[in-house]
């Protein structure tokens, strides 16, 4: 540490220098204020010790000038004087001195003060380093970082932010309202995760937005980081396209291979000799296995990349399990195994993706069937569980090797090949099942003891009060009309949109009847026939017809409500539906 | 017309066309029009008057969905069920195809032994949609 000693009287200066040097600090000296200023300009000085009474430039003025000259860091100035009274020290502190010492300077006190300022300077240096590092990070990072004050105005920004916004504005960002830059206000920033750069040309980039709030005293600030997702999205899209292509390119030849073999085995080209039949069957089986492997790999890639969209809707587990049993009965019969469904609860609804749920059940059931000795039964049970609904698949097979059980839900895990029937698996089924069940908010587990068979359990969360929440189904051929209906209704209840009756029936079969049905018979074939089939979707008094192609008498004949297009305003339709939805919830609470 | 007899298959892969011929022609006993492209299908449609069309999705020049749009504008084709054959099994793709007006989707690889029966279901189904 370097201390500059300034005193015009040589003996007094030498005394101070001696004291400072004795303590162990490096010392430089100046005999006048002018000389001191020169030192400051050319040498690094940490602390200044100066005499207040000097000719020409006195201690007060020197302090003032030093303060003016040394900016960026704080320089401790300790004034020294033998003057009586406190006023001159008060004056010196007022013009910028940090501290004072009375002459004759006592060594212990000097030592203590210098040590104290050394600590302060170390803290200052540390803070400066942090700030420097922070600044370097801020300026080199590719993400735009903005700090917004409580009035919603920018008070700090980095280089990337400058480039992102100034490119078009050509002005300083400080003080600009964040709403002007991002299109949303401070309140919305907190709940927004993604934002499209407003006013950025034809293909505006999407940014992920993260924010953190902090405050100094009563002032609160929000620092936000904007990360450009364009590149990541592009890669994602390329990966999707690649997957689709791979899937297509692999499946096309497989279609011919598996198809030709299937036809051969079925005798479409004449009866095969038994030995040839056996070989064709081997090829056919493995072709099918290859097909499953392609499916599994595609599922896996999508699941691991979190890019599989699950269509989660309330569904009746009973109905789905019934479907699962039907779908797997053929395979069970082939192996001489019985499949039994036991539903031990009343209505059981859970939010699931029906197709994916069936995929999980197919996996568990086929595993169980595969490992069951001929003549045995695979039991499928639906039970209530503290966490929701429990679905159990129990077999009477040899059970799972304890060593394998710990890794059976992992990727590419297969029990060793001693069991002939395990041939044909991909080692991905249980792993995919686990990921699918977890994505649906549930869990999967297994228990098994030697000779007692295995039980695989899926636990799915229950819906609140286990009553399907009200929802509205809209049938219309015209996309724009569907979109309009959706925006009108969506704040009343969940809305499902379908183009035609068949799709509607499929949906209802899967998730149950809608609370209300809005249907437009236009472009649906004969309007009379279309309307006659609507009661297969839901009760007649829950149906609202819309569209100009009909009239009052038509609706009356079918016993349904009707709202012509010309008067189908948002409010009118909402009023109609609200009545239906209220009736539904009232009715359910009585039941 | 209460029985399904005339089936048009549009598929650019010659091997898959052959499988379809074996499956639907020899096993199923249908009268087939095998077309290698969407254009060929359009040329044949009026004369052959199919009761059901199996249509490959990914074809060069005229894609399956494009062919479907064109076929729908042929007079005798208006109510005819059109079923896509696709190797893209992704759920979102399937939904997009259904939205384009297909009666159903058959995913490749399909089973040529059950195909003759499967398409009859789509045919009956299709008559419900396009009465």
Which own/partner contact pairs does A431-435 have at CB distance under 8 Å and 24+ positions apart?
A431/A300, A432/A296, A432/A299, A432/A300, A432/A303, A432/A359, A432/A363, A433/A359, A433/A360, A433/A363, A433/A364, A433/A409, A434/A409, A435/A303, A435/A304
Q: Which of A382, A387, A375, A297 is nearest to A332 (CA)?
A: A375
Cβ neighbour number for residue A129 with a 10 Å cutoff = 10
> Per mean pLDDT, which range of A82-91, A122-131, A284-293, A303-312 is the poorest?
A303-312
User: Cα separation of A446 and A391, whole Å?
Assistant: 11
Please answer yes or no on whether B89 and A298 come within 8 Å at the CB atom.
Answer: yes
B-chain CB neighbours of A244 within 8 Å are: 88, 90, 93
Please answer yes or no on whether A258 and B92 come within 8 Å at the CB atom.
Answer: no
Q: Which of A239, A244, A255 to mutate to test the interface with B (most CBs of B within 10 A)?
A: A255
Estimate the share of chain B in helix, then strand, then coil, as percent rounded to the nearest 5. Answer: 45, 20, 35
Q: In Å, how far are A210, A462, B77 from A146, measured between CA atoms?
A: 11, 43, 60
Q: Which of A223, A224, A221, A225 is nearest to A151 (CA)?
A: A221
Out of B19, B89, B98, the one facing A263 most closely (by C-beta) is B19
| pLDDT, tens digit, 9 for 90 and up, residues A129-159 | 999 998 899 889 989 899 999 888 999 888 8
Chain A interface includes B100 (CB < 8 A): no
Please answer yes or no on whether A266 and B27 come within 8 Å at the CB atom.
Answer: yes
Out of B16, B87, B99, the one facing A499 most closely (by C-beta) is B99
Greater pLDDT, A467 or B100: B100
What integer pLDDT is reported at residue A590 of this predicted model? Answer: 35
A-chain CB neighbours of B18 within 8 Å are: 256
Query: What does the DSSP assignment read for A344-356?
Result: -SS--EEEE-HHH
Please answer yes or no on whether A259 and B16 come within 8 Å at the CB atom.
Answer: yes
Percent of chain A scoring above 90 in pLDDT: 30
Name the band, by pLDDT with cuts 50, 70 and 90, for residue A591: very low
| pLDDT, tens digit, 9 for 90 and up, residues A280-307 | 988 988 888 888 888 888 777 777 766 6
Greater pLDDT, A56 or A78: A78
Chain A interface includes B26 (CB < 8 A): yes
What integer pLDDT is reported at residue A421 of this predicted model? Answer: 47
Chain B interface includes A526 (CB < 8 A): yes
Please answer yes or no on whether A248 and B87 come within 8 Å at the CB atom.
Answer: yes
Chain B interface includes A287 (CB < 8 A): yes
Chain A interface includes B99 (CB < 8 A): yes
Please answer yes or no on whether B88 and A258 come within 8 Å at the CB atom.
Answer: no
Residue B109 has pLDDT above 60, yes or no: yes
Provide the token pair at B7: 């089936």
Chain A interface includes B75 (CB < 8 A): no
What integer pLDDT is reported at residue A199 of this predicted model? Answer: 58
Q: Is the dihedral of CA B80, B86, B89, B93 positive or negative?
A: negative
**3-state class (DSSP) for residue A283:** helix
Name the band, by pLDDT with cuts 50, 70 and 90, for residue A588: very low
Closest-CA distance, B75 to chain A, in angstroms, reads 16
Side-by-side strand order, sheet with A144-149: A154-157, A144-149, A219-228, A206-216, A194-196
Q: CA nearest A269 in B: which residue?
A: B22
What integer pLDDT is reported at residue B48 of this predicted model? Answer: 93
CB pairs under 8 A between A and B: 86
Chain A interface includes B25 (CB < 8 A): no
Residue A418 has pLDDT above 60, yes or no: no
Please answer yes or no on whether A244 and B88 come within 8 Å at the CB atom.
Answer: yes
Chain B interface includes A245 (CB < 8 A): no
Closest-CA distance, B72 to chain A, in angstroms, reads 14
| pLDDT, tens digit, 9 for 90 and up, residues A98-118 | 999 998 899 999 999 999 999
| pLDDT, tens digit, 9 for 90 and up, residues B3-22 | 889 999 999 999 999 999 99
Q: Is the dihedral of CA A505, A506, A509, A510 positive or negative?
A: negative
| pLDDT, tens digit, 9 for 90 and up, residues B17-64 | 999 999 999 999 999 999 999 999 999 999 999 999 999 988 888 989
On whether the CB atoms of residues B47 and B93 are closer than 8 A, the answer is no
Provide the token pair at A484: 């309009």
Average pLDDT over residues A483-509: 82
User: Cα separation of A495 and B51, whole Å?
Assistant: 35
What integer pLDDT is reported at residue A193 of this predicted model? Answer: 81
Out of B87, B91, B112, the one facing A355 most closely (by C-beta) is B91
Closest-CA distance, A270 to chain B, in angstroms, reads 11
**Largest interatomic CA distance in chain A:** 127
A-chain CB neighbours of B60 within 8 Å are: none
User: Cα separation of A543 and A438, whole Å?
Assistant: 37
Chain A interface includes B21 (CB < 8 A): no
Closest-CA distance, A508 to chain B, in angstroms, reads 16
On whether the CB atoms of residues A576 and A518 are closer than 8 A, the answer is no
Greater pLDDT, A386 or B116: B116
| pLDDT, tens digit, 9 for 90 and up, residues A38-59 | 999 889 999 999 999 998 899 9
Chain B interface includes A483 (CB < 8 A): no
Out of B27, B87, B93, the one facing A251 most closely (by C-beta) is B87
User: Cα separation of A120 and A47, whole Å?
Assistant: 11
User: Cα separation of B93 and B91, whole Å?
Assistant: 5
Please answer yes or no on whether A499 and B113 come within 8 Å at the CB atom.
Answer: no
Chain B interface includes A275 (CB < 8 A): no
What integer pLDDT is reported at residue A169 of this predicted model? Answer: 58
User: Cα separation of B50 and B119, whole Å?
Assistant: 13
Complex ipTM:
0.83
**pTM, two decimal places:** 0.48
| pLDDT, tens digit, 9 for 90 and up, residues A545-576 | 888 777 778 888 888 888 876 555 777 788 88
| pLDDT, tens digit, 9 for 90 and up, residues A174-227 | 888 888 888 888 888 777 788 887 655 666 788 888 888 888 888 899 999 999
Residue with tokens 């012509």: A564
What integer pLDDT is reported at residue A13 of this predicted model? Answer: 93
Please answer yes or no on whether A311 and B125 come within 8 Å at the CB atom.
Answer: no
Please answer yes or no on whether B58 and A251 come within 8 Å at the CB atom.
Answer: no
State phi, psi for B6 to the nearest 5 degrees.
-100, 115
Q: CA nearest B58 in A: which residue?
A: A248
Residue A9 has pLDDT above 90, yes or no: yes
User: Cα separation of A444 and A463, whole Å?
Assistant: 18
Residues 84 through 113 of chain A touching chain B, CB cutoff 8 Å: none
Out of A302, A499, A502, the one facing B125 most closely (by C-beta) is A502
Chain B interface includes A589 (CB < 8 A): no
Chain B interface includes A252 (CB < 8 A): yes
Please answer yes or no on whether A255 and B108 come within 8 Å at the CB atom.
Answer: yes
Residue A381 has pLDDT above 70, yes or no: yes
Q: CA nearest B92 in A: which residue?
A: A309
User: Cα separation of B126 and B131, whole Å?
Assistant: 8
Closest-CA distance, B18 to chain A, in angstroms, reads 9
Chain A interface includes B92 (CB < 8 A): yes
């Amino acid at each position: 540490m370097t201390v500059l000693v300034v005193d015009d009287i040589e003996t007094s200066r030498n005394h101070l220098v001696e004291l400072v040097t004795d303590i162990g600090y490096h010392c430089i000296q100046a005999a006048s204020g002018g000389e001191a200023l020169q030192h400051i300009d050319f040498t690094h000085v940490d602390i200044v010790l100066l005499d207040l009474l000097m000719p020409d430039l006195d201690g007060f003025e020197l302090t003032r000038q030093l303060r003016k000259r040394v900016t960026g860091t704080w320089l401790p100035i300790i004034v020294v004087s033998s003057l009586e009274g406190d006023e001159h020290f008060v004056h010196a502190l007022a013009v910028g001195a940090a501290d004072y010492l009375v002459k004759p300077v006592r060594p212990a006190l000097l030592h203590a003060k210098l040590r104290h300022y050394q600590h302060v300077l170390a803290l200052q240096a540390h803070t400066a380093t942090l700030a420097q590092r922070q600044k370097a990070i801020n300026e080199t990072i590719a993400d735009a970082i903005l700090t917004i004050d409580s009035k919603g105005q920018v008070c700090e920004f980095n280089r990337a932010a400058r480039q992102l916004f100034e490119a078009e504005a050509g002005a300083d960002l400080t003080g600009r309202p964040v709403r002007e830059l991002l299109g949303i206000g401070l309140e919305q920033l907190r709940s927004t995760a993604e934002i499209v750069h407003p006013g950025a040309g034809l293909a505006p980039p999407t940014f992920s937005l993260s924010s953190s709030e902090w405050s100094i005293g009563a002032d609160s600030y929000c620092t936000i980081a904007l990360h450009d997702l364009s590149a990541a999205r592009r890669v994602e899209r390329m990966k999707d396209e690649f997957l689709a292509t791979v899937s297509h390119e692999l499946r096309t030849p497989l279609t011919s291979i598996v198809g030709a073999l299937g036809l051969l085995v079925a005798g479409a080209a004449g009866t095969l000799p038994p030995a040839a039949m056996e070989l064709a069957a081997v090829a056919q089986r493995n072709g099918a296995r290859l097909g499953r492997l392609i499916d599994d790999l595609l599922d896996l890639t999508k699941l691991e990349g979190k890019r599989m969209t699950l269509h989660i809707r309330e569904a009746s587990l009973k109905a789905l399990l019934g479907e699962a049993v039907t779908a797997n009965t053929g395979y069970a019969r082939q192996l001489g195994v019985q499949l039994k469904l036991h539903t031990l609860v009343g209505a059981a609804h859970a939010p699931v993706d029906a197709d994916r749920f069936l995929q999980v059940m197919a996996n568990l059931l086929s595993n169980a069937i595969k490992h069951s000795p001929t003549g045995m039964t695979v039991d499928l049970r639906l039970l209530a569980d503290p966490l929701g609904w429990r679905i159990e698949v129990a077999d009477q097979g040899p059970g799972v090797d304890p060593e394998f059980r710990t890794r059976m839900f992992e990727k590419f895990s297969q029990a060793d090949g001693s069991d002939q029937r395990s041939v044909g698996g991909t080692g991905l089924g249980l792993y995919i099942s686990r990921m699918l069940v977890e994505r649906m908010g549930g869990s999967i587990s297994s228990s098994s003891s030697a000779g007692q068979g295995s039980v695989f359990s899926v636990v799915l969360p229950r819906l609140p009060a286990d009553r399907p929440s009200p929802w509205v189904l809209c049938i219309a051929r015209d996309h724009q009309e569907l979109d309009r209906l959706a925006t009108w209704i969506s704040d009343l209840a969940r809305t499902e949109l379908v183009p035609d009756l068949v799709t509607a029936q499929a949906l209802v079969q899967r998730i149950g009847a809608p609370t209300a049905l809005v249907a437009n018979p236009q472009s649906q074939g004969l309007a009379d026939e279309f309307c006659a089939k609507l009661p297969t979707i839901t009760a007649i008094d829950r149906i609202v017809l819309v569209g100009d192609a009909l009239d009052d008498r038509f609706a009356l004949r079918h016993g349904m409500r009707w709202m012509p297009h010309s008067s189908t305003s948002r409010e009118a339709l909402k009023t109609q539906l609200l009545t239906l939805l209220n009736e539904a919830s009232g009715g359910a609470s009585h039941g | 017309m209460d029985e399904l007899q005339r089936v048009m298959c549009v598929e650019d892969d010659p091997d898959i066309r052959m499988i379809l011929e074996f499956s639907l022609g020899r096993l199923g006993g249908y009268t087939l029009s095998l077309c290698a492209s969407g254009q060929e299908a359009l040329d044949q449609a009026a004369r052959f008057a199919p009761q059901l069309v199996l249509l490959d999705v990914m074809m060069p020049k005229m894609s399956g969905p494009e062919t479907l749009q064109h076929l729908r504008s042929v007079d005798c084709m208006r109510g005819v069920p059109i079923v896509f054959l696709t190797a893209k099994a992704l759920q979102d793709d399937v939904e997009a195809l259904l939205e384009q007006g297909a009666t159903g989707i058959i995913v490749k690889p399909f089973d040529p032994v059950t195909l003759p029966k499967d398409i009859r279901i789509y045919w009956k189904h299709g008559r419900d949609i396009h009465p």
